[in-house]
Structure 1
Amino acid sequence: MADDRTRSLLLGALDAQRRHILDAVEGLTDAQLRTPALPSGWTPIGLVRHLTLGGERYWFRTVMAGEPLDYWPADRPELDEGRPADWRVEADESAEAVLRQYRDAIARADELIAGLALDAPPARPDPDWPEGRFADLQAVLLHVILDTATHAGHLDAALELIDGRQHLVL
């Protein structure tokens, strides 16, 4: 019973952060989605790409389900400007496609999560992780929630600089 409540709370928090991201970019123009507003140079659509590859796909499909990391983009320093490659969105990629990939990654992650116990260990742990850091699905869920929430806050600040509106999400 406690596991059901914990699972419900974790999944509710994760879903809220995912919705925050999707709601924040809803209605933005392609130009706004591709505008870097902060000195680090990332764009809102680049952040969505990162949450797709470095968040949903990596943590749930690769780490928890053991699927290969064959989707990870190759580094291209001339394009990435010091950011990891999972933030890159090519000029010829549509924002709609990137957003669809994020939604698809969420749906696939939810399927995988539904089939795992909270204490299920990662199928593909990284040997560089500190001992016990990501010992089970519960720890991975908490990590992805925190990472997505942090990026949601970054996105709010960037969008306020891009369009001048205060983005208040309750």
Structure 2
Amino acid sequence: MDDKEILHRYLRLRRAELLAKLDGLDDYDVRRPLTPTGTNLLGLVKHVASVEAGYFGEVFGRPHGQPLPWLADDAEPDADLWASPDETRDQIVALHHAAATHSDATIEALPLDAAGQVPWWPEERRVVTLQQILVHMCVETAQHLGHADILRELIDGTAGKGPGDPNLTPRSAEEWAAHRARLEAAARAADPVSRRTPPQ
């Protein structure tokens, strides 16, 4: 496996893992904001798909052809980070698949040193290579997958890649609760102010 295949494989894996965070959830749970800034699962998928379409499309002179009105100059701020009631989960998942298919074609067609330009980056660093954009999108997708990991755990307790994930210590719900309580106690013991404040 050469360098391009390795990067492409990581990108494909992270894409699939991000989409899997929607599995088994209803329309409310995939859309509900779970942080003060409104972070939500379907919005993360919409954002990553939109960003990928641009980085592997416009940047390399290979327009993707997908209408992305939420990225237009006159769109409201953060319109790419949530789904309006008339945007269905199926539409956003289809957008994600279409962006991935177009990106895959660009990745397969061009060498790693192929040059592109990112018009929304500062002029002094707009010129990029396919390798740089592959790394950038691996990092971007993994970052938002991490956000999605936490959101999914808050929604229904599903952590990591689900039951049997080798990266998670096997514990029962009771054992996880005891583990969390131990961490809370350790955190409060480390901060004298917290020791004086009852838990919320």
Q: Same fold (TM over 0.5)?
A: yes
Q: 1:144 aligns to what SS in structure 2?
A: helix
Relative to structure 1, the CA distance from residue 125 to residue 103 in structure 2 (aligned partners, 3 Å threshold; closer, same or farther) is: same
Runs of 5+ unmatched residues, structure 2? 168-200
**Pick from 53, 60, 63: which aligns with 1:64?**
60
User: Match of 2:43?
Assistant: 46
Q: How many residues align?
A: 160
The 1-side partners of 2:121 and 2:13 are apart by 30
Q: What is the CA RMSD across the aligned residues, in angstroms?
A: 2.3
The 2-side partners of 1:103 and 1:95 are apart by 12
Deviation at 1:161, TM superposition (A): 0.9
The 1-side partners of 2:32 and 2:142 are apart by 21
The 2-side partners of 1:127 and 1:165 are apart by 36
- For normalisation by structure 2, the TM-score amounts to 0.71
- For normalisation by structure 1, the TM-score amounts to 0.83
Deviates more, 1:5-14 or 1:158-167: 158-167
User: Match of 2:160?
Assistant: 167
Deviates more, 1:23-32 or 1:148-157: 23-32
The 2-side partners of 1:127 and 1:97 are apart by 26
**Percent identity of paired positions between Structure 1 and Structure 2:** 30
User: Match of 1:15?
Assistant: 12
Q: Is 1:141 matched up with 2:134?
A: yes
Q: Kindly indicate whether the alpha-carbon contact (under 8 Å) linking 1:35 and 1:162 is maintained by their aligned counterparts in 2.
A: no
Please list the CA deviations of residues 38-93 of structure 1 after superposition, one character each: whole Å capped at 9, or x if unmatched. Answer: 12102111111101112x1110011123538963424554xxxxx52222321122
Deviation at 1:131, TM superposition (A): 3.6
Q: Kindly indicate whether the alpha-carbon contact (under 8 Å) linking 1:24 and 1:167 is maintained by their aligned counterparts in 2.
A: no
The 1-side partners of 2:96 and 2:64 are apart by 18
Runs of 5+ unmatched residues, structure 1? 78-82
> Which structure is higher in RCO with an 8 Å CA cutoff and minimum separation 6?
1
Q: Kindly indicate whether the alpha-carbon contact (under 8 Å) linking 2:118 and 2:126 is maintained by their aligned counterparts in 1.
A: no
